[in-house]
Structure 1
């Protein structure tokens, strides 16, 4: 997959590519004037998803598109239903690097990633993110030229080598707690007590803030959950709202009997972690001619950072050469295969990658 190019609108892209027949992957910022019918004016195959913002170098836009063309030896697989992945050996067996964009609000993400892990070859590398809108409504967001879907995904395969890094920067606040009842992405109880009551008591005790009927996300954006994995890795889960049963809805699944901590954010440590990730990524990719960096950065991470978020992009770009490009999206969840044992779905994290 070639590096991304930014266009302010779909019309500019179509005008610039009248005779192009290459397969094109498109990230569409949420407030872009986007009509599926317009895609039919492109002569090649086209697919992609709607995301809150697109990223191009030190800038991020809620209107505009990022376009990445596929090389001849790359291909894509469109998955209409995350519960049903076609394990096509022709698609999966000859490639070791994959990029995934899926419906970030689907309750079936874990099941899909488990099936994807079974389908790819050993030591395959995967990065990606969750499409979706800032409304957190489960609208259709994954598209081809013919239709737009929810609960869907796009998988791009390439024979190139993929190097990737994960940045977090979130710190421990209180825990551990045991997830005593959960269902997919709904957290019901912690230590046999209502999860929201436990969470509310901890946050109000530490901060002096008070939850009301309409400020849950305003407070929760700064205090995510951290799932403690067997290797002491922490996978961050983003609480986004309280449902009608007074349960906490997360971006991504949380398994029953998981051990979790409540985390807190420090803007300086978040920004520093992303710069370090890019620095280490480019050091590992030093032999690559390509130094362009693909990014999937969590939208709620950017909301937490607020006015400090441009500093995160500037910090990453500062380790890159002047002629290299940082491109990608702010997403609802991030995907990375950081070991040969599983593919993880992260929240409030930043995934960066280089294709060599």
Structure 2
């Protein structure tokens, strides 16, 4: 394995890094994590990727991670000793797509029991359906690790790196013959679990009702909660806890501190991050919401998030273990924005001896939680150890 970090963010510096990695002894595939702020000229980037003589996969993210550094300009090129086969599945927002059928046509039979790296366009509307189809076909014989690429502008654009160039509205699945361990750190809890919570609004009828039923949804857009407009219900609960009015113009700023969570009897909470209000007045989230799902408004502190990430890092260090080769982290960009300057503390907590850390600040995270299921998470810190890469 060979890791190259470049901090210029130019197409020329990326080209030098790619060719240097290919020239390193034993490198047979390239995994690329790059910053979307690099603003690569698309024709030049496509030509560069199509001209590579080895398989390449990766994405453009709001930021990348290397060791204890968070960078918004530059790229990481990881040269892998395995000749991988990146499988690209297009149409992750197609409302009629049968992803089980598409994956059956695209994937080979050799994925079972291996570590699957899964990258998606984080602004696609049917990521959950895609991840569930992948789980349906390949179960939990191996681990899953990955996340969503894309831009904080929330404008969907080409963001996934492939040998065919940069693509949008797609997913990339890569199987690695490498033992792995994966853990998920959250740190968010329902408002009603906060024993110190008080209603700051003198207009609140109280008590604030939770959980909420998602009475009308359309993929990743919440139209109504408890048969009332979603923004009104969500905004009232946030206002009651925070003592401030939810701005229709900046849902994402409020959601940094108050995400939504899908409650499940078997697996706790799956976080959903509201991004913005659609022209129709619907709450658009990162990831789908099942119709009829019960949801909570969540809250957390910087300390609870950092502690959850540290616990995830401890979990992947547990035996049995051989010498780890790589620590791969997908840490949600809205989580990073919530932590602010304290994100450096979260990064410190993720350092694992003899395992260089690489990763990205992603738009949604993909991981299996234990041996039960695979999920598309929001506002999570996903930590994976890839051994003997």
- Tell me how far 1:76 sits from its aligned partner: 2.2
Partner of 1:110: 128
Pairing of 1:1-356 with structure 2 (within 5 A): 2=1, 4-8=3-7, 9-14=13-18, 16-17=20-21, 19=23, 22-34=28-40, 35-40=45-50, 42-72=52-82, 74-82=84-92, 83=97, 84=99, 85-87=102-104, 90-93=108-111, 95-120=113-138, 122-174=140-192, 175-284=210-319, 286-290=320-324, 292-317=326-351, 320-321=352-353, 323-356=354-387
Counterparts in 2 of 1:67 and 1:223: CA distance versus 1, 3 Å: same
- Tell me how far 1:31 sits from its aligned partner: 1.1
**1:229-279 Cα distance to aligned partner (Å, 9 max, x none):** 121511110011011111100000001111111011200110111111101
Taking the aligned partners of 1:249 and 1:98, their CA distance within structure 2 comes to 28
- Tell me how far 1:79 sits from its aligned partner: 1.9
- Tell me how far 1:86 sits from its aligned partner: 3.1
More displaced stretch, 247-256 vs 91-100:
91-100
Taking the aligned partners of 2:214 and 2:31, their CA distance within structure 1 comes to 38
**Retained in 2: the 8 A contact 1:95–1:157?**
no
- Tell me how far 1:337 sits from its aligned partner: 1.6
- Which 4+ runs in 1 deviate beyond 6 A? none
Taking the aligned partners of 1:33 and 1:93, their CA distance within structure 2 comes to 34
Taking the aligned partners of 1:117 and 1:3, their CA distance within structure 2 comes to 30
- Tell me how far 1:138 sits from its aligned partner: 1.1
> Which blocks of at least 5 consecutive residues in structure 2 are unaligned?
8-12, 193-209
**Retained in 1: the 8 A contact 2:22–2:79?**
no
Alignment RMSD, CA only? 2.1
- Tell me how far 1:4 sits from its aligned partner: 4.6
**Retained in 2: the 8 A contact 1:105–1:251?**
yes
SS at match of 1:209: coil
- Tell me how far 1:40 sits from its aligned partner: 4.4
**Retained in 2: the 8 A contact 1:228–1:259?**
yes
Q: TM-score, normalised by structure 1?
A: 0.92
**Retained in 2: the 8 A contact 1:125–1:337?**
yes
SS at match of 1:215: helix
Taking the aligned partners of 1:184 and 1:268, their CA distance within structure 2 comes to 33
SS at match of 1:335: strand
- Tell me how far 1:89 sits from its aligned partner: 6.1
Taking the aligned partners of 1:51 and 1:89, their CA distance within structure 2 comes to 25
Q: TM-score, normalised by structure 2?
A: 0.84
- Tell me how far 1:22 sits from its aligned partner: 2.2
Equivalences, count? 351
Taking the aligned partners of 2:164 and 2:67, their CA distance within structure 1 comes to 31
**1:148-179 Cα distance to aligned partner (Å, 9 max, x none):** 22111111102222210000001221421111
**Retained in 1: the 8 A contact 2:28–2:83?**
no
Taking the aligned partners of 1:5 and 1:165, their CA distance within structure 2 comes to 26
SS at match of 1:31: helix
**1:268-316 Cα distance to aligned partner (Å, 9 max, x none):** 11011111110121123x5211153110000000011111111110122
